[in-house]
A and B are shown apart, each in its own frame.
Chain A
Amino acid sequence: MSSGSRRFQKQIFIASLENGGSPALVEELSGEDIELVLDIRRWPARHWRRHPPEQLAPVLTAAEVYYLHRPELGPEPGHWLAGGDRWKLNTRAYRRLLRSREGAVAWAAGLALRHRTCVVSQFAAPNDADRRVLAEVIGELAGLRSLALSSRPKGHMDPTRPAGWTATASAAHIGVRWLDIHSHRPDQRC
């Protein structure tokens, strides 16, 4: 592999903002040497249980992590379909939206190539389809593998969560969906 290609990142990460306060978040991000956080939340601020952008930005920049809030890269409210024990994302509609925002996605892909990036949105799995789809789209464009950041969700009920959310649904997904990437350290990138 040439040193030219080694300059670029190989993965893009995703993470929830539900799993603890700011110190826990910073610890989680620094554990994987994340350099840039791309926040795609579009929900009204009153629904953000933790980490509204104006609070998150100074915490992350103090930890030398770039913070970019780009709600235009997140799904529109109409893309979320309530029902059953979880919210479902109309991924086809969301992907169509992202295709129409090619310039913004390409910009994000360029950043993700250069900075170890984590796409964040509010809710823990399984309501994480928004960040998964965006990370996949960016990953396809930039040749990056999409991985979930290691996490320890608390699983308790949150009154501000969308209707249909249950802790049981969250816990059922954690074991199978969160990938163990601790063996991959920053100094082993390539």
Chain B
Amino acid sequence: MNFFHWDGAPLFEAEILAATSCGHAVELESGQTLERPGHDDYERALREGGRLGSAEKLTDRPELVAAAQAHWHAEGGNSCIFSAYLSEERQDHGWETFVVLESGPAAELAAGIEEIVAPRLAAPAIEIVSVVLPNLDDAAELAALVGHLGALPDWSAVEIGEETDEHAGALVKVGLRRDVELDFESEVLGFGCHPGAARTRLAPFTELAIRAKPPPRFKSHMRAVMADIRLPDISGATMGEWGKETAQLRESMLGDGHDLRGKAKVTFVLPKTAWEASKNL
């Protein structure tokens, strides 16, 4: 599979990305709108900053795709202060990114993702493996990919519940899981601008973020989650403050309506028709 591997080195585009205007408004339940940079905003900023040619598309430049997606996380797009911090210094914290430009048949894409991910999950220094799929925007294709990934030997896909959205219609919350070492099961986080997605998941590009390691100490729940990543430089007091800020930000972004969709155990919220159709593939 053709992919670009970004080890998370400091962003050379940081200055350009910092100037990204926020043209993508996320409407909150409180009636307020939250402005977040979207795919077009990043493309425009990178073009104006001279990093992207006038005829080039952002999705043709995997290194810029990775940088833009990392910037979105670092700016607090997913509401988690801890992940914003991790995303700023990915290399130090073992957050690797793979950008897959292909958008072929879902079965091949799923097998290719597993091929990329498997060896990196075992590498001692790796905490998170992200697979960014800039050419995967369609809900039916995403549902098919989730279905095929869930059918692979070390993966599973679980239905967590259904919801009805006034704009997106009937939705199914699906959790993807990937086995990691010591018999733990990693909860995969999914991002991307998809209909019905939680407001904390509306990243410029579709992404699977896999927690690569079990927690430092044994936990009987056997779940590998992002919250267990060690942050040795952060004091307990700061951790507490960040926890509170994250909870507040998350609540303001998700409200009651999107709260369940934004849970860590939910990877993607998929249109029910697309998810049902994926079962027949």
Contacts and interface: CB of A to CB of B under 8 A. Distances in A.
B213 A114 contact: yes
B279 to A, nearest CB: 36
Q: Is the interface of B mostly helix, strand, loop or mixed?
A: loop
Contacts of B233: 3, 6
A44 interface: no
A114 B124 contact: yes
A134 to B, nearest CB: 18
Interface residues of B, number: 22
B124 A65 contact: no
Contacts of A4: 91-94, 125
Contact of A113 (B93, B124, B217, B231): B124
Nearest to A189: B232
A80 B122 CA distance: 34
Contact of A6 (B91, B124, B182, B232): B232
B232 A3 contact: yes
Nearest to A106: B124
- Residue of A6, A61, A114 ringed by the most chain B CB atoms within 10 A: A114
Contact of B218 (A2, A3, A65, A113): A65
A2 B216 CA distance: 20
Nearest to B216: A35
A70 interface: no
B262 to A, nearest CB: 27
Interface in A7-65: 7-8, 35, 60-61, 64-65
Contacts of B92: 2-4
Given A3-B233, A6-B233, A113-B124, A61 B218 contact: yes
B30 interface: no
Contacts of B217: 35, 64-66
A8 B92 CA distance: 11
B230 interface: yes
A170 B154 CA distance: 47
Nearest to B183: A66
A132 interface: no
Nearest to B184: A66
A61 to B, nearest CB: 5
A106 to B, nearest CB: 9
A110 interface: yes
A7 B218 contact: no
Contacts of B218: 35, 60-61, 64-67
Contacts of A68: 182
A116 B219 CA distance: 15
Contacts of B125: 4, 7-8
A123 to B, nearest CB: 26
B238 interface: no
A118 to B, nearest CB: 13
A115 interface: yes
Nearest to A114: B124
A138 to B, nearest CB: 12
A3 B89 contact: yes
B2 interface: no
A7 B219 contact: no
13 contacts: A2-B92, A3-B89, A4-B92, A6-B232, A7-B127, A35-B216, A61-B218, A61-B220, A64-B219, A65-B217, A65-B218, A111-B124, A111-B182
The 7 A-B pairs of least Cβ separation, nearest first, read A4-B92, A110-B124, A6-B232, A64-B217, A3-B233, A66-B218, A3-B92
Given A65-B217, A111-B182, 14 more contacts: A3-B231, A3-B232, A4-B94, A7-B93, A7-B125, A8-B125, A35-B216, A35-B218, A66-B182, A66-B217, A110-B123, A110-B124, A113-B124, A116-B216
